[in-house]
Amino acid sequence: MDLARKSLFFVVDDDPVTRLMLCRFLERHGYLTRTFANGAQVTEAFDREMPDVVLMDAKMPVMDGFEACRRLKERPDARHVPVLMITGLNDDESVDRAFEIGASDFITKPIHWAILRNRVHYLLANIEAGHKLSLAARVFDNTGEGIVVTDAQAVIQSVNPAFTHITGYADHEAVGRRMSLLKSGRHPQEFYEKMWHELLANGQWQGEFYNRRKDGTIYPQWANISAVFAPGGQVENFIAVFSDLTALRESEENLLYVTGHDALTSLPNRHLFHERLVFVLDEARDSGTMVWVLLLDLDRFKVVNETMGHDVGDALIVEVSRRLAVNLGGRGNLSRLGGDEFAVILPKTEDSQSVAQLAETLLQAMRIPFVIHDVEFFVGASIGIGVHPLDGEDAKTLMKNVDAALYHAKERGRNNFQFYRNEMNTRAMARMRMETSLRVALERQEFELYFQPQIHLASGTLAGVEALIRWNRPGHGMVSPGEFIPLAEETGLIIPMGNWALADACQRAMRWFASGIKPFRVAVNLSGIQFEQPDFVARVTEILSTSGLAPHWLELELTESIAMGDAVETLVKLKSCSEVGVRLSIDDFGTGFSSLKYLKRFPIDTLKIDQSFVRNCADDLEDAVIIRAVIGLAHSLGLTVIAEGVENREQIDFLQVHGCNVVQGYYYARPMSERALLDYLRQHG
Ligand code: C2E
Ligand code: CA
Ligand code: CA
């Protein structure tokens, strides 16, 4: 109701004096009036104008007050207008009748003005409250937002239709239940504790959280909860108004996908990259793992883009992203940050060496010429590398440092990668230099085999030699295998290197024997990686036939880990070698975990007791026991025992007493060049 407007009264009475008195009285109190002489007049007037209150005489000619009131109450537009009946008939029947037909109140004639004033005042106040209430009720019923009213204990008192629509709970299913009815289980207890705390402290809480619908689905909602306080200050009710954000979220996610991915390459864009990084770093902080970030930038993209046009530039970017994805082979998350800048997140711990290797692989992929629209061009790239947590706890710091590393790489002449940390660069550089020179060494044949004699303990005669690889590295002298075999194994260079050693040993042995030297066995070391090659056996037989060496002069030294690998596969390969006539020995025996059961099944000829046991065999009781046990075991299986690393007389005496067959060590001879070996053979022949 418009409160600024004066309230309008219809005064209906057939007595002009009463009409006049009533009008004067009402106008004095600031109300507007219209007067009518009978019920028929007033019902007509309703078509033109709507009063706030009707004062109606009961007894009138033409149409009495009761009938007029009844007609008014039938009109939807007038139904709410209160009618105050004025009656001279102070009997119960009239009063009942007045109320029955919808009158709001009644007063009796003669009019008691003070009573009239109070009744009117009360009526108007009621009208106002009613207006407000019905407005609130309409809002409550019609709003799209769910509304729940609870008591102080969060027990639901009432819900609106939108609540039912959103949650699926009908009015009677919700009322009387606690608010926890809607709990999603998505938030930790602390979340709710914080909410309640804030609600009681400020009387209000708003925010986003998940609730669960009656059908079990979980939905995001925006909620505004207020506490209603009683005059004493204690909470009386809570009112929660919430909206379902599901639809909004879905459209946001669509938007995120569209804006989160690069249209050209379909890779995540900078925005999504950043979000992902923040997420991954969060996880890494919890699990205490490392996260590496590689930032790659093409070296000559601008030139291509400007001289060849954007079409070519776009095609180039697509091809770059393809090559990166292929070379990542599923490792890490690739994003295109924009222009010619790409980033890779590598979660989970990976050591700097393998990251360096990956960076090098990616750079190599960029070095292969690009052919676009039949034009070939070279692009190249630079990479900056950083790692969480060393180079940054948070995404911002980390990216700043990775950026600095990329800048450094550009400064160093492009086409290279740089770690943010210099010590990583130093290590990576040393390794890369080593790897490069190993490759070159293979091509330039800088490797050479040395040979170490093996002696029959009983007779003191030559049993054979072990071929040991050496790297005659220009400027470094002879490099021993301990310094390059591990790297050769990691990079796969061990395969050509091992093949070379095998072939070289066979060829030389063949030449010695052809020149009249009395034949002896030549032992060659094998790496597990060589042995794992599917064509391993074919390789060995091919090398043997090329060289012409009789297979039984070749002995292959395997480590325990090779022999104990995939048992079936291993057994097949070992058997094939054995069938060809090649002898097999287990190197460094005692350091691994050989299963005796396997040893028995495998066609092994020799056990080589590891030097670490030989070293102290004369005075360490435990080592002595082990050696005795190994010798006993080997003999029971019909195997020959070689002790390596023999350096003194005491060791020889001990080994002799316990029946060791063959010894090898500095005490007799160091590994030596072929020339030195030929001299040695002449002297000891
Ligand atoms: P290994 O097969 O156990 O070779 C024995 C090592 O002990 C050799 O070191 C040898 O020089 C050393 N040695 C021999 N007698 C004595 C001694 O009395 N005292 C001491 N302290 N050491 C002695 P080297 O030549 O440095 O070779 C090291 C390892 O490199 C070898 O251990 C073998 O595992 C590997 N290796 C050598 N050549 C090849 C190869 O052609 N292919 C493969 N895959 N590995 C090789
Ligand atoms: Ca060996
Ligand atoms: Ca050994």
Tell me what pLDDT residue 124 has.
Answer: 84
* Residue 391 CA, ligand 1 centroid: distance in Å: 40
Identify residues whose C-beta is under 5 A from ligand 2, the ion.
525, 557, 587
- Over residues 367-388, the pLDDT tens digits come to 999 998 888 888 899 999 999 9
Ligand 1 pocket residues where CB is under 6 Å:
452, 468-469, 480-482, 485, 498, 501, 525-527, 557, 587-588, 611, 644-647, 665-666, 671
**Of the bound ligands, which one is closest to the alpha carbon of residue 481?**
1
Tell me what pLDDT residue 99 has.
Answer: 83
Are 77 and 48 contacting, i.e. CB atoms less than 8 angstroms apart? no
Tell me what pLDDT residue 200 has.
Answer: 86
* Residue 480 CA, ligand 1 centroid: distance in Å: 8
**Ligand 1 pocket test: which of 452, 468, 502, 506 has the largest number of ligand atoms within 8 Å of its C-beta?**
468
For 219, which DSSP code? E
d(CA 660, CA 634): 10
* Residue of the CA atom closest to atom 10 of ligand 1: 671
* Crossing angle between the packed helical segments 621-636 and 649-657, to the nearest 10 degrees: 40
- Over residues 169-186, the pLDDT tens digits come to 999 999 999 988 898 877
> Angle CA(645)–CA(651)–CA(652) in degrees, nearest 5?
95
Q: Which residues pair with 228 in a beta bridge?
A: 237
**Of the bound ligands, which one is closest to the alpha carbon of residue 469?**
1
* Residue 660 CA, ligand 1 centroid: distance in Å: 20
DSSP state letters, 165-211? HHH---HHHHTTSBGGGGB-S-S-HHHHHHHHHHHHHHSEEEEEEEE
Tell me what pLDDT residue 254 has.
Answer: 67
Tell me what pLDDT residue 349 has.
Answer: 63
Tell me what pLDDT residue 2 has.
Answer: 45
* Residue 644 CA, ligand 3 centroid: distance in Å: 7
In sequence order, the 6+-apart residues with CB closer than 8 A to the CB of 618 are 624, 648, 650, 651, 653, 654
**Ligand 1 pocket test: which of 525, 589, 607, 649 has the largest number of ligand atoms within 8 Å of its C-beta?**
525
d(CA 418, CA 383): 6
* Residue 649 CA, ligand 1 centroid: distance in Å: 21
Domains and CATH numbers, the chain: 8-135 (3.40.50.2300), 146-249 (3.30.450.20), 261-421 (3.30.70.270), 445-683 (3.20.20.450)
**Of the bound ligands, which one is closest to the alpha carbon of residue 615?**
1
* Residue 331 CA, ligand 1 centroid: distance in Å: 36
Looking from the CA of residue 530, the nearest atom of ligand 1 is 44
Distances (CA, A) of 280 to 292, 394, 530: 10, 10, 38
**Of the bound ligands, which one is closest to the alpha carbon of residue 452?**
1
d(CA 327, CA 321): 10
DSSP state letters, 90-111? --HHHHHHHHHTT--EEEESSP
Tell me what pLDDT residue 599 has.
Answer: 77
What is the number of alpha carbons within 13 Å of residue 369 lying toward its C-beta?
7
pTM of the model: 0.52
d(CA 489, CA 491): 6
Name residues of the chain where pLDDT drops below 70.
1-5, 89-91, 252-258, 349, 563-567, 593-597
Token duo for residue 158: 């009432």
Longest distance between any two alpha carbons in the chain, whole Å:
159
